[in-house]
Amino acid sequence: MDLAFTEDEEGFRHRLRAWLADVLPTLPDRPHPADWPGRRAYDCGWQRMLHDAGYAGLHWPEDAGGQGATPTQHLIFLEETERAGAPYVGAGFVGLLHAGPTIAAEGTPEQRARWLPPILRGDEVWCQGFSEPDAGSDLASLRTRAVRDGDTYVVSGSKIWTSHAEIADWCELLVRTAPVNADTPKHRGITWLALPMDAPGVTVRSLRTLAGTAEFAEVFLDEVRVPVGHRVGEENDGWRVTMVTLSFERGTAFVGEVVACRRVLEALARTAKANGRWDDAVLRRRLGRLAAECAALWRLTQWNVSEAQRTGGVPGVGGSVFKLRFSQVRQELYEAAAEVLGPDALDAGQEWVADRLSSLSYTIAAGTSQIQRNIVAERILGLPKGR
Amino acid sequence: MDFQLTDDQRALRAGMRELLERRFPRTRLRAVVDGDAERGAELDRALWRELGAAGLFALRVPESAGGVGLGLPEAVLAFEEAGRALLPGPLVATELAAGLSGLWAAVGAVPGSSQAGLSGLAAGAVQGETVVTALDVEGARAPVEHLVSADAVLALGPVAVELIPAAEVACAAEPMRSVDPATPLHRTGPIRTRRDQAGPGRSGIAARLRREAALLTAAQQLGSASRTVELAVDHAKRRTQFGRPIGAFQAVQHLCAQMLVRAESSRSVVYAAAVTEDPGDIAAAKLLADEAAVHNARDCLQVHGGMGFTWEADVHLHLKRAWVRAGQWQCAAAAEEELAAGLVSTVERCL
Ligand SMILES: Cc1cc2nc3c(=O)[nH]c(=O)nc-3n(C[C@H](O)[C@H](O)[C@H](O)COP(=O)(O)OP(=O)(O)OC[C@H]3O[C@@H](n4cnc5c(N)ncnc54)[C@H](O)[C@@H]3O)c2cc1C
């Protein structure tokens, strides 16, 4: 066990730190959450800066246009950018963490050449069209149909909770290409397609979140024609491709937010000192306990990253363990914040109140806590298939 | 950075597990807790010597002083196994006393006793010849474990550290009916270490030993917390109700999954604290490992149903030992206060 960083890793950290110190002051102000075009421009602009400085796709393999960095370097990158207050990956999330790695792993040379460079340059934005009104946790029961017509698929159905659909150019879309019956179990007839969001027949209807913002949308697909060449992986093999995608999502997706948890907690403690709440031993001890939780999240992250590094970059099962703890701690943190801030907790104008609201999605999005517990019980602990 | 066990560390852990399976199998544990109260209270000296011979107490003692010359991470792995097996005895205090043999100059002699005699005690601890228990004078509330079996008491004052002959402490101590049948406990009256003076409390040797004690105790809690996950999962796979193994019921699955999350979260901080030796990391380790051991034992009991409530199942032994350990060294309130202080003492601190 060695928590020290190598000279190379430290060198990387220092170069990155210096670069961040140079460029962050030159960034424009963050756009208002309701300003979709502004958000797209801001997130893509930041990605372009990363690209030009050689930090785009850090953890992607070099033959996919990435930097081939080690998981540890990627960890350092996420830690340093968060600590410096750099922009969040934002609209680039699905392209950089999901669709891109999936295309890199499963796509043809033409597909890689077509889709990967614009993701890295921040020219194109992707969204994730997995969930449907009747297929959330039970993703394999999705019903959006794709019928083959010559060299195109004709797609009809609808998707829901699609984050960033308003500003996306492409959607990683799961469709049903074989009906469910006795010989075709439901997860066998699924195919992974790249859907151009501007294709005729695609309608996006914004949904308002409980925070009052429009983070995600419904996507209606009415006989949308998608070229067969946009299929990644084999027909009816989309479930396996999807599992590849999801393993990327649970890898290092939350590193920045773990750093943020500790920063929020420190800020909270300073606030409590300033407003007198610190004298309340019960509250103080609660914050102390959260500090232990933050430490555990960070160490679990380092553990998982080290494991991935040893096993060749494949995110391990530790991801579900981490996500369960993380989503709970993140919510507890904001409950404690409300106690420190008292009446201010009811002022939706406060920036942290928006974070408090958004923390409520953590036990739902990317697999609910219940589903994560099923995964831990069945796949890690080897308990019998659940009921 | 490579936050994974080295091959040597894995081998050490496997060796310790194998030794304990051979020398302290479940039947031994049951003999200790099912025997009559008097005999149960006695420590198995032969086993203690064997543990000493296997190097359990000497892991951190320099090779020049007859030890193995390893570090805190290795000691933590060994103590994790001890916790897993519910090995009874004042393991932590004896390990700390063994470490004093190399540090003797720093600690200094105790008035009225010869330095040679004390060095002898410490050297005996290295080999498992002497049994040393501990008394935290500052904490004062934790009872002394295994006092009757002990040769010496490691007394930690605010600053100073002393080895006191056990008989001297025993004459002013009162036996308790310990909740843990394998850990006899004594209440002691107010004791003052002889050489205490004001000084740099946090940097002194007493403070260091306290932190190491907290960490090694946390390591045992971690071992117990992992063991109860195994016990619960085994039972959930074997026990059938409504025509299927109870482990197929989601309510049971989710209890088991949360147990694993607790155990693995505490593992990550316990191991990290062993590497950094940072007071904040150690406080987090003790806090989370105590919580994992106590709550996992309770959930394990639940998964066992009525069987869990019997003397026959081992679950209650894990719970009771976890309670004892949670009250030793840095208990929850102290750990939380330490961590809270860490939040405001630094302007911008690394995670
Ligand atoms: C902020 C946010 C952003 C999102 N972004 C996207 C996106 O970009 N693209 C996308 O495809 N999806 C996205 N999602 C959807 C998300 O993946 C789903 O909401 C999630 O998987 C749950 O599915 P559901 O909403 O249909 O809930 P349901 O599956 O209906 O679940 C409802 C409740 O039932 C429980 N439940 C369901 N099945 C089981 C079971 N087998 N055992 C125990 N409990 C069960 C769940 O845990 C939950 O508590 C997003 C969601 C949120 C909140």
pLDDT digits (tens, 9 = 90+) for A120-159: 999 999 999 999 999 999 999 999 999 999 999 999 999 9
Looking at the complex, report in whole angstroms how far the Cα of residue B112 sits from the nearest Cα belonging to chain A.
43
Q: Which residue of A has its CA nearest to B279?
A: A292
Give one DSSP letter per residue of B104-139, joined into a string. HHHH-PPTTS-HHHHHHHHHHHHHTSS-EEEEETTT
Q: Ligand 1: distance of its center to the CA of A174 in Å?
A: 16
Q: Is B268's Cβ below 8 Å from some Cβ in A?
A: yes
Exposed/middle/buried for A180, CB within 10 Å: 0-12, 13-18, 19+? middle
Q: Ligand 1: distance of its center to the CA of A172 in Å?
A: 17
To which residue do tokens 């002497």 refer? Answer: B130
Nearest to B248 among A265, A321, A386 (CB): A386
Chain A neighbors of B287, CB-CB under 8 A: 289, 292
Interface of A with B in 295-334 (CB under 8 A): 295-300, 302-303, 305-307, 309-310, 318, 321, 324-325
Q: Is A135 helix (H, G, I), strand (E, B) or coil?
A: strand
A173 token code pair: 């879309």
B333 token code pair: 């309130």
How far apart (Å, rounded) are the C-alpha atoms in residues B134 and B153?
5
Separation in Å, CA A180 to CA A134, A145, A159, B173, B210: 15, 12, 19, 75, 63
Nearest to B337 among A266, A269, A285 (CB): A285
Chain A neighbors of B344, CB-CB under 8 A: 266, 269-270, 273, 278
The pLDDT value given to residue B199? 45
The pLDDT value given to residue A382? 95
Say how many CB pairs under 8 Å bridge A and B: 185
Residues A79, A259: contact at Cβ < 8 Å? yes
Query: Nearest residue CA, atom 32 of ligand 1?
Result: A137
Separation in Å, CA A340 to CA A266, B25, B319, B334: 12, 50, 34, 21
How far apart (Å, rounded) are the C-alpha atoms in residues A240 and A246?
10
CA A67 to mean position of chain CA atoms: 20
Q: What angle do CA B137, B141, B143 make, to 5 degrees?
A: 90
The pLDDT value given to residue A372? 93
Q: Ligand 1: distance of its center to the CA of A137 in Å?
A: 5
Q: Is B303's Cβ below 8 Å from some Cβ in A?
A: no
Exposed/middle/buried for A200, CB within 10 Å: 0-12, 13-18, 19+? exposed
Mean pLDDT taken over chain A: 93
Looking at the complex, report in whole angstroms how far the Cα of residue A384 sits from the nearest Cα belonging to chain B.
5
Which residue of A311, A376, A383 to mutate against B (max B Cβ within 10 Å)? A383
How far apart (Å, rounded) are the C-alpha atoms in residues B212 and B270?
11
Residues A190, A177: contact at Cβ < 8 Å? yes
A362 lines ligand 1 (CB under 6 A): no
Chain A neighbors of B275, CB-CB under 8 A: 1-3
The pLDDT value given to residue A325? 95
Interface of A with B in 50-109 (CB under 8 A): 72, 75, 79
Q: Is B349's Cβ below 8 Å from some Cβ in A?
A: yes
pLDDT (tens place) for every residue of chain B, 351 residues total:
999 999 999 999 999 999 999 999 999 999 999 886 555 568 999 999 999 999 999 999 998 888 999 999 999 999 999 999 999 999 999 999 998 876 654 455 444 445 566 677 878 999 999 999 999 887 657 899 999 999 999 988 887 788 888 998 998 899 999 999 999 999 987 776 665 544 444 557 889 999 999 999 999 999 999 999 999 999 999 999 999 999 999 999 999 999 999 999 999 999 999 999 999 999 999 999 999 999 999 999 999 999 999 999 999 999 999 999 999 999 999 999 999 999 998 655 433
Of the candidates A106, A249, A257, A293, the residue annotated as catalytic is: A249
Interface of B with A in 205-264 (CB under 8 A): 229, 233, 236-237, 244-245, 247-250, 252-254, 256-258, 260-261, 264
Pick from A2, A317, A262: nearest CA to B260:
A317
How far apart (Å, rounded) are the C-alpha atoms in residues A207 and A218?
7
Flag if B265 and A296 touch (Cβ within 8 Å): yes
Pick from A30, A32, A53, A56: nearest CA to A43:
A30
Residues B166, B150: contact at Cβ < 8 Å? yes
Query: Nearest residue CA, atom 30 of ligand 1?
Result: A136
Residue A368 CA: nearest ligand 1 atom is 47
Nearest to B264 among A288, A300, A384 (CB): A300
- Amino acid occupying residue A337: A
Which positions ≥6 away from A190 have C-beta within 8 Å?
A140, A142, A174, A175, A176, A177, A236, A238, A239, A242
The pLDDT value given to residue B103? 60
Interface of A with B in 359-378 (CB under 8 A): 370, 372-374, 376-378
How far apart (Å, rounded) are the C-alpha atoms in residues B90 and B142?
13
The pLDDT value given to residue B138? 73
Name the helix (H) or strand (E) containing A46: helix A36-52
Residues B200, B316: contact at Cβ < 8 Å? no
pLDDT at A266 over 70: yes
The pLDDT value given to residue B203? 57
How far apart (Å, rounded) are the C-alpha atoms in residues A310 and A318?
14
Flag if B247 and A265 touch (Cβ within 8 Å): no
The pLDDT value given to residue B105? 47
Q: Which residue of A has its CA nearest to B253?
A: A377
Q: Is A177's Cβ below 8 Å from some Cβ in B?
A: no
For the range A12-16, what are the long-range contacts, defined as Cβ-Cβ under 8 Å and sequence gap of 24 or more? A12/A69, A12/A73, A12/A76, A13/A76, A13/A80, A16/A55, A16/A76, A16/A77, A16/A80, A16/A81
The pLDDT value given to residue B349? 40
- Give me the count of residues in chain B: 351
Bridging pattern class, strands A202-207 and A216-227: antiparallel
Which residue of B1, B271, B275, B281 to mutate against A (max A Cβ within 10 Å)? B1
Q: Is A271's Cβ below 8 Å from some Cβ in B?
A: no
A249 classed as catalytic: yes
Interface pTM, i.e. ipTM:
0.91
Percent of chain A with pLDDT over 70: 96
Return the higher-pLDDT residue of A317 and A47: A47
Q: Ligand 1: distance of its center to the CA of A129 in Å?
A: 13
| Rg, Å, chain A Cα set | 22
What are the phi and psi torsion angles at B38 (to 5°)? -65, -50
A67 lines ligand 1 (CB under 6 A): no
Residues B232, B259: contact at Cβ < 8 Å? yes
How far apart (Å, rounded) are the C-alpha atoms in residues B3 and A303?
5
Flag if B272 and A321 touch (Cβ within 8 Å): no
A327 lines ligand 1 (CB under 6 A): no
Q: Is A163 helix (H, G, I), strand (E, B) or coil?
A: strand
Q: What angle do CA A192, A194, A200 make, to 5 degrees?
A: 125
Which residue of A1, A277, A287 to mutate against B (max B Cβ within 10 Å)? A1
**pTM of the prediction?**
0.93
A207 lines ligand 1 (CB under 6 A): no
Q: Is B277's Cβ below 8 Å from some Cβ in A?
A: no
With helix as H, strand as E and coil as C, how does B162-183 read?
A: EEEEHHHHHCCEEECCCCCCCC
Q: Is B153 helix (H, G, I), strand (E, B) or coil?
A: strand
Pick from A315, A309, A327: nearest CA to A372:
A327
B5 token code pair: 């066990």
Looking at the complex, report in whole angstroms how far the Cα of residue B297 sits from the nearest Cα belonging to chain A.
17
A322 lines ligand 1 (CB under 6 A): no
How far apart (Å, rounded) are the C-alpha atoms in residues A232 and A248?
16
Chain B neighbors of A284, CB-CB under 8 A: 336-337, 340
A162 lines ligand 1 (CB under 6 A): yes
DSSP tag of A77: H
Q: Is A137's Cβ below 8 Å from some Cβ in B?
A: no
- Amino acid occupying residue A61: P
How far apart (Å, rounded) are the C-alpha atoms in residues B28 and B39?
13
Confidence of residue A37 (pLDDT cuts 50, 70, 90): very high
Residues A235, A191: contact at Cβ < 8 Å? yes
How far apart (Å, rounded) are the C-alpha atoms in residues B202 and B211?
10
Buried b (16+ CB within 10 A) or exposed e, B95-121: bbbbbbbbbeeebebbeeeeeeebeeb
How far apart (Å, rounded) are the C-alpha atoms in residues B50 and B24?
11
Lowest-pLDDT choice from A54-68, A316-330, B183-197: B183-197
